[in-house]
Amino acid sequence: MDSFRDEPRRAPSFTLRCGREPPVTLERFRGQPLLLVLCSGLLETSATGGVTGWNDDSALAPGDDDGLAAVRAELRGLGAVLLLVFEDGALCVGPEDELWRMGPGRAGDAAERAAMRVRYGVSPCATGLFVIDGDRRVRFSHIEVAPRRGTLHTIAGALAATGHIDVSRFTLSRRELVVSSLATGLALALTEPPARAATAPAAAPAEAVAGVEITLQINGAPRRLRVDPRVTLLDALRERLALVGTKKGCDQGQCGACTVLVDGRRVNACLTLAVMAEGAPITTIEGLAKGPELHPLQAAFIAHDGFQCGYCTSGQIMSAVGLLSEGRARTDDEVREQMSGNICRCGAYPNIVAAIQSARKGG
């Protein structure tokens, strides 16, 4: 690629602050949003202390003017400074032209830098990026094991991809939000006026809950239950009848993980109301095998490794059972077309097709 051609390296466009170098510690940035990057490799300097370069292409490199400009634009948006921590020291980069070195050769600094990697879960060969607010809370994290375009491009790309990051000191964490919500609810309950509490209607008994009684013919057996008319077949199977082999994936009819057979036809249980299926024979993944004897498609999926994580597998098998009963798919392309409503995020599609074709041919 053009961007990876060898070109003469130019000096980076920044000004280095010389003089006494402070130790590498996050405490000196308290109250200041910080972009912390834990870099692999060493920071090299000249005999006079000036920055001359970095020892590998995975670190910040001279000539990265475009990457530096992009990072500084992100720093201005965050109101933050950038702290690049290497194995032998650190660089602090401001949103404008300033850059200063921190902590080379000081006693305890190496241990502090190593402790940072442990604290933030970054292995020695990886680059870790963390946006930290003024209260030292992590608002965004990104870790790359082997950055391909250099640290500056990695930083700019990660920040640009994630969009807006809130570093406000008054933003609650998820745990703080839950705790504060519970505390507020408890306070409101304790301060409720006595008159209102006395006149509040009693909760309706479980028997009086609105609903309709239906009988579903599931895997050859009638199952009677009372449901709200709005309950989907998927929720009735999983939550009321404990038939959890039918999976809830997208819950929008787009992934096929909830596929069951209703009157022999493939349907998305998440888009089918339970009351609509009353009286029709329903087959779920639990009803395919006959005792210890697997259905031919179940055996074929095992023989051809038609699954990896297994979450979509029950929907894939149920859809394949319906596909074979329809008799419309013969070629591999026809199988792919007819199975296109079932998504496998692991990408086991070739093995799924092979398993379906094997079962169709009786092999």
Considering 162, 189, 220, which residue would you say is the last residue of a domain? 162
- For residue 150, what pLDDT is reported? 62
- For residue 19, what pLDDT is reported? 41
The dihedral built from the CA positions of residue 59, 84, 80 and 129, taken in this order, carries a sign that is positive
- For residue 315, what pLDDT is reported? 96
pLDDT in tens, 236-269: 999 999 999 999 999 999 999 999 999 999 999 9
- For residue 312, what pLDDT is reported? 95
DSSP label at residue 231: -
The verdict on residue 172 lying in a domain is: no
Number of domains in the chain: 3
The verdict on residue 194 lying in a domain is: no
The verdict on residue 7 lying in a domain is: yes
CATH of the domain at 228: 3.10.20.30
Q: Please identify every stretch of the chain with a pLDDT value under 50, giving residue numbers as ranges.
A: 1-20, 45-63, 105, 107, 170, 196-198, 204-209
- For residue 141, what pLDDT is reported? 80
Q: Which residues, including other chains, have CB under 8 Å from residue 126's CB and lie 6 or more apart?
A: 38, 40, 143, 144, 145, 146
Considering 253, 287, 321, which residue would you say is the last residue of a domain? 287
DSSP label at residue 23: P
Same-domain status, 301 and 283: no
Q: Which pairing describes strands 98-102 and 15-17: parallel, antiparallel, or unpaired? A: parallel
Q: Please tell me the pTM assigned to this model.
A: 0.45
Residue-number span of the structural domain to which 221 is assigned: 212-287
